[in-house]
Homo-oligomer: A and B are copies of this chain.
Amino acid sequence: MLKITKRVEYALIAIRHLQENQDVLVSVSDISAAYGIPKEILAKTLQKLASSNIVKSYKGPTGGYKATKKIAETTLNDFFEILEGPTAIMDCYFQDGCDHLNSCNIRTPINKINDSIRNLFNNLTLADIAQ
């Protein structure tokens, strides 16, 4: 429990690699080969980051991805949300339609835990965790 997904792991690896190679365009194949990450899943992950302007994409041969300045100031909360949607330790935090709502006696503790985690991730940027 409380695990991050492979998508997030791959995204972290990719942006770190892009930041270390800011002078060149890096293709999905490059990163895939360097770290042993399945190509297609990495491609889709980078597409999500591109549509949020965390990275910039260039099509065609000699194309690839580039880090943007937005990376450093992006919070973990935003980063996770781009890839996986809203962060919540239980689905009922954002969804509704709980069967036991009437008898639920853990709403307060669940909300407190959630708020604490979201507060933590809102105050940590990708730059903060880099070094």
Contacts and interface: CB of A to CB of B under 8 A. Distances in A.
Interface of A: 1-5, 8-9, 12-13, 16-17, 20, 34-36, 76, 80, 84, 87-91, 99-100, 103, 105-106, 108-110, 112-113, 116-117, 120, 124, 126, 128-131
A129 to B, nearest CB: 4
B130 A109 contact: yes
Contact of A106 (B9, B76, B131): B9
24 contacts: A1-B4, A1-B87, A2-B2, A2-B80, A2-B88, A2-B117, A3-B90, A4-B90, A4-B113, A12-B106, A12-B110, A16-B106, A20-B105, A34-B103, A35-B103, A36-B103, A108-B129, A108-B131, A109-B129, A109-B130, A112-B124, A116-B120, A117-B117, A117-B120
Contacts of A4: 1-2, 89-90, 113
